[in-house]
Amino acid sequence: MLLQVCAPSWDVPAPVFLPWKTAEFLPPLTKQRKKKQVVFTTATTFIFPLDYGGSAIPSDHGPPIGLAKTHTRQECQYLDSLAPKKSRVLKFDHVERMVLLQQEASYSRKDVAMFCFESFAVQKSRLETNQADDDDDGSGDEARDEDDAEEPPVKRRRRSP
């Protein structure tokens, strides 16, 4: 016995030619990005007087120096007349910072000495914290005692100036 399978015939229309879908009308597959450029014409510089900067503790000993809360003057410069130049951040050693605070910021020797003690206390606290973090990282495989987990953190009082 033979089975004969009849496939239905589908009437498919002939493809339609659409000229706007040809290669010359389609956008390229990879677009070249336009280079964007920003040009500044003026620079405004705010001039701040030197002051005690408690937010930035130096890595060596001595008081931190910073900027006052408000600026004393402002300068505007046209940038098209200036040639670009490279510069580095100026760093002062601890003796220079003490002299600057006394002469430029008009602090007394006693005030500068207090700033030095405060800076030293912050550096010491940071060193102790880093050492404690290093000790915690090294003992990851060892089991902790229950007493260690229940110890409250040590509270430190801050001296008022």
Q: How far apart are CA 120 and CA 158, in angstroms?
A: 13
Whether 87 has a pLDDT exceeding 80, the answer reads yes
In residues, how long is the chain? 161
20-41 pLDDT, tens digit per residue, is 666 666 666 666 778 888 888 9
CB 58 within 8 A of CB 52: no
Is residue 107, in this structure, part of any structural domain at all? Answer: yes
Going 68 to 69 to 74 to 79, the CA torsion angle's sign is positive
Q: For all residues of the chain together, what is the average pLDDT?
A: 78
Taking the alpha carbons at both ends of the chain, their separation in whole angstroms is 110
Domains: count for the chain: 1
Domain that holds residue 70: 42-81+92-133
Question: Tell me, what's the pLDDT at 143?
Answer: 47
CB 61 within 8 A of CB 120: yes
Is residue 56, in this structure, part of any structural domain at all? Answer: yes
